[in-house]
Copies of this chain bind each other. A is one copy, B any other.
């Protein structure tokens, strides 16, 4: 009988031009079928000649066991290849060591990086991270939250502040601690930054350059406080200078959508600068500009927000607003752990700053070529 480590080949269809497939199955105890069940504390205790309590202590509080017996126990554990049963342990100890996180999507680098930092900031071995994505859908987010809690999450990391109040009530009733990342304000525990202040800095820069005909490509603002904060912050800063946008497009996240929005905006408004709600939209706008034969920044200024990797590989490199996403992820992890431990935790508001690269310049003097 086949003895492959974990499975056995059932069939291998001849290689086809398109997609090759091959059948697999978890093998059903091909060889030794004596003990199909796993070792338990009792087995370990018996083999080591101690009580189950001692075995448990060796695992959870080694210092409370004398080295000699501890050695015996550990040897038995190794020999039996014993691993504590997760369910039993969770049931008895009333803790799972699982933390949940719901993000809109990991396809947005901002969240992927933040989550990565979040995960790395969790004490290794002490916590594991359960991740779900909502696709920016509030209803789905709610289901995901409930699913994670149902799977034993003893703490949650959520993105942004905007959500139905009943979600917070539910969480409060269940006594599930949570942290809002990429959020600001002070009505909830959070780790974030000020979107309005960040975009205001950028708009300030554009205004200083002398632009007056400005448009904005914003992400979808519904249920997204980040996008809304940026749009509103930009409007406010413009208003302070007695101006308003010549055009505003609100589009879903994506390079293509950013490109389309740019084309439309340029076609219908005589703008010299386009403020984008994030780097991906800006990258799309930049690509559209290239394809339309517009020079950046000579003909048009384009700015981003987030400063993710792509901001430094566009050509010219993107002028954007730097946001410490990774730092935010780790701060969120720190805060959440403190909340879970019942300790006092600190919400934190991280600073942002404009990174001036190559996509901004003073507006083109429109009268020059015309009056020549």
Residues of chain A at the chain B interface (Cβ within 8 Å) = 4-7, 9-10, 12, 17-26, 28, 38, 81, 83-92, 94, 96-98, 105-107, 109, 112-113, 115-116, 119-120, 124-125, 128-133, 143, 147-152, 165, 168-169, 171-175, 177-178, 186-189, 255, 280, 283-284, 286-287, 290, 309-310, 312-315, 317, 335, 339, 342-351
Contact = CB atoms under 8 A, between A and B. Distances in A.
Contact of A19 (B4, B125, B349): B349
A32 to B, nearest CB: 11
B128 A151 contact: yes
A21 B253 CA distance: 31
A310 B309 contact: yes
Contact of A150 (B83, B148, B169, B283): B83
B147 A124 contact: yes
A22 B177 contact: no
Contacts of A81: 173
Contacts of A7: 188-189, 339
Number of copies: 2
Nearest to A313: B283
B84 A87 contact: no
B84 A9 contact: no
Contacts of A6: 168, 171-172, 177-178, 188
A362 B309 CA distance: 30
A313 B312 contact: no
Contact of A25 (B19, B133, B255, B343): B343
Given A24-B335, A96-B151, A165-B5, A313 B342 contact: no
A19 B348 contact: yes
Contacts of A147: 124-125, 128
Contacts of A175: 26
A119 B98 contact: no
A13 to B, nearest CB: 9
Contacts of A96: 86-87, 151
A310 B129 CA distance: 28
B21 A348 contact: yes
Nearest to A128: B151
A203 to B, nearest CB: 20
B107 A346 contact: no
Given A10-B344, A23-B346, A25-B339, 8 more contacts: A6-B168, A6-B188, A24-B347, A86-B96, A87-B87, A105-B116, A283-B313, A287-B315
Contacts of A130: 98, 128-131
A174 B83 contact: yes
B132 A119 contact: yes
Contacts of A149: 83
B133 A116 contact: yes
Contacts of A91: 85, 87-88, 90-91
Given A24-B339, A98-B151, A175-B26, A290 B312 contact: no
A347 B106 contact: no
A125 B151 CA distance: 10
A310 to B, nearest CB: 5
A174 B23 CA distance: 21
A156 B223 CA distance: 34
Nearest to A92: B87
Contact of A151 (B23, B86, B169): B86
